[in-house]
Amino acid sequence: MDTETMAAETRAKRPIRWHVGVFLAPAVLVYTAFMILPLFGTLQLSLFRNIEQSQVFVGFSNFRTLFGDPNWSVNFWNALRNNVWFFIIHMLVQNPIGILLAALLSSPKLRFTAFYRTAIFVPTILSFVIVGFAWKLILSPIWGVAPHLMDFVGLKSFFTPWLGKEQYALTALSLVSVWQFVGIPMMLIYAALLSIPDEVIEAAECDGVTGMAQFWKIKLPLILPSIGIISILTFVGNFNAFDLIYTAQGALAGPNYSTDILGTFLYRAFFGFQLQVGDPNMGAAIATIMFLIILAGVCVYLFLVQTRLRRYQF
């Protein structure tokens, strides 16, 4: 194992390093033209209002409406609360399961790992259309798959139409989302675990550190940066989530807005729904707030967490 290096490099500064520009240019150009400019073109709409078919600058008035007018703020806080719950479930269920599965898969000499790995990742590759449809079928009281299965293990009395009940729908959908995406933390952690050099493990085993202790004491510290990545990816993904709720519950995120998250709230405001005419200005205001929430999270990660993580080079 190499010496542990804190990214600081001591190479002498050269005047102009063209290659840095060459490496960055293609990505920055495509990304700026097709993502950043359109997005910020939209976000700046949040400072305008459509009055008599023309955009008039109104400062922060849209944000005042969003937080001050109960017609908007009640929905906003509800969506934010739901979104936080959605995120908590992912952090508590998806990531631990992902790490557990990765740890099991990476154990040497375990057979059929290729099969398990492929199978467990399958839900992740499915489109939301398929996932939403399949789970609606399974949980449907009409089709009877879930009640039937629960009957099998004697739990039939616990069955309720989860997706139709205010108190359960969001949790049920969060778990469906966990089911779909558990492959991502699993793969990332798996890759990280595999890249731990054999010498490290052997050294640990020589010292008598094996099994669970080996995982906690040796491997876990080594994969902490990867756990950092999956946490922040989960955070960003969850606060941008939209498709699953939309395909399973529709844009009104029923019953009674109990599954409404920021993504669906934004969609209704920005694009409109049914008779509701889209309001790009209010939509942009919501998007700006979402962006700030996510940006805050990412900054915490980049500046507080990432810089403190110890990285090991092999």
Binding positions for other proteins, 116-145, rule CB under 8 A = 116-131, 133-145
Based on the shown chain and the rule CB under 8 A, indicate whether residue 157 belongs to the binding site for other proteins: no
Asked if the bond preceding 255 is cis, omega within 30° of 0, the reply is yes
CB of 4 to other proteins, least distance (A): 11
Specify whether the CB–CB gap between 136 and 145 falls below 8 A.
no
Per CB under 8 A, contacts with other proteins among 232-271 are 233, 236, 240, 242, 246, 249-252, 254-257, 263, 266-268, 270-271
Instruction: HSE, CB side, 13 Å, CA atoms: give it for residue 312.
Output: 17
| Residue from 82, 51, 79 nearest 66 by CA | 79
CB of 113 to other proteins, least distance (A): 8
When the beta carbons of 60 and 143 are compared against other proteins, the nearer one is: 143
| Packing angle of the helix pair 166-181, 183-194 (nearest 10 deg) | 40
Instruction: Give the phi and the psi of residue 55 in degrees, each rounded to 5.
Output: -85, 120
Q: What is the DSSP letter of 210?
A: -
Stretch binding other proteins (CB under 8 A), from 55-63, 76-84, 85-93, 177-185: 177-185
Based on the shown chain and the rule CB under 8 A, indicate whether residue 48 belongs to the binding site for other proteins: no
Interatomic CA distance for residues 162 and 146, integer angstroms: 11
Based on the shown chain and the rule CB under 8 A, indicate whether residue 61 belongs to the binding site for other proteins: no
Based on the shown chain and the rule CB under 8 A, indicate whether residue 92 belongs to the binding site for other proteins: no
Per CB under 8 A, contacts with other proteins among 181-210 are 182, 184, 187-188, 190-191, 194-198, 201-202, 205-206, 210
276-277 and 272-273 as β-strands: parallel, antiparallel, unpaired?
antiparallel
Beta strands in the chain, from DSSP E residues, in sequence order:
48-51, 54-57, 272-273, 276-277
The residue within the footprint of other proteins, chosen from 49, 62, 72, 227 (CB under 8 A), is 72
Based on the shown chain and the rule CB under 8 A, indicate whether residue 12 belongs to the binding site for other proteins: no
| Residue from 97, 303, 314 nearest 222 by CA | 314
Based on the shown chain and the rule CB under 8 A, indicate whether residue 54 belongs to the binding site for other proteins: no
Q: Is 243 helix (H, G, I), strand (E, B) or coil?
A: helix
The residue within the footprint of other proteins, chosen from 79, 102, 163, 289 (CB under 8 A), is 163
CB of 57 to other proteins, least distance (A): 19
Based on the shown chain and the rule CB under 8 A, indicate whether residue 283 belongs to the binding site for other proteins: yes
